[in-house]
């Protein structure tokens, strides 16, 4: 039942990564008054750092000795999903005029799905 355990852990740590992203975003955007796109990029950066560690250690239990390659693939996938994240935030907020909180939540769901597929099929494949 490795897949079931893996999915449960991915959802659990994905939820924590989501919280890191949301909290970090609102600290930078609301409390510090930093532009929402810059705040979004900063939130992405901190959540990716958290996600790599948790995915490597607990979700996919990677034993790869080539950490630099693995990390490069992980961050490369996250750069792609980060671009999707930022583009969708711009679309939802500036074009569609949806509130930033609703936009952030919807976009994060999409990004979490993209990240799982990329991690499972490319970064931490057996």
pLDDT of 25 above 60:
yes
Query: What pLDDT digit, counting tens, does each position of 35-65 carry?
Result: 999 998 899 889 999 999 999 999 999 999 9
Encode pLDDT of 81-94 as tens digits: 989 999 999 999 99
pLDDT for 1 beyond 60: no
Q: In the structure, what pLDDT confidence band is assigned to residue 124 with cuts at 50, 70 and 90?
A: very high
What are the structural domain ranges in the chain?
2-123
Phi (first) and psi of residue 124, to 5 degrees: -110, 30
CA angle 68, 86, 79 (to 5 degrees): 10
Cα 14–chain centre separation: 8
Dihedrals phi, psi of 65, to nearest 5 degrees: -75, -15
Query: Which pair of structure tokens corresponds to residue 112?
Result: 């979490």
Which residue do the tokens 């991690």 mark? 119
User: pTM to 2 decimals?
Assistant: 0.76
SS3 125: coil
Residue 89: partners with Cβ closer than 8 Å, 6 or more residues away: 36, 37, 40, 100, 103, 104, 107
Q: What average pLDDT is seen over the chain? A: 92
Single out the residue of 27, 43, 17 nearest to residue 113, CA to CA. 17
> Does residue 107 register a pLDDT over 80?
yes
């Amino acid at each position: 039942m490795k897949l079931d355990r893996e999915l449960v852990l991915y959802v659990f740590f994905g939820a924590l990564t989501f919280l890191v992203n949301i909290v970090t975003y609102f600290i930078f955007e609301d409390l510090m008054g930093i532009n929402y796109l810059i705040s979004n990029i900063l939130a992405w950066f901190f959540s990716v750092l958290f996600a790599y560690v948790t995915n490597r250690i607990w979700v996919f239990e990677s034993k790869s000795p080539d950490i630099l390659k693995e990390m490069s693939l992980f961050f490369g996938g996250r750069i792609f999903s980060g671009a999707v994240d930022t583009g969708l935030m711009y679309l939802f907020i500036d074009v569609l005029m949806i509130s930033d909180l609703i936009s952030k939540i919807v976009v994060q769901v999409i990004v979490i799905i993209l990240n799982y597929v990329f991690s499972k099929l490319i970064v931490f494949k057996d």
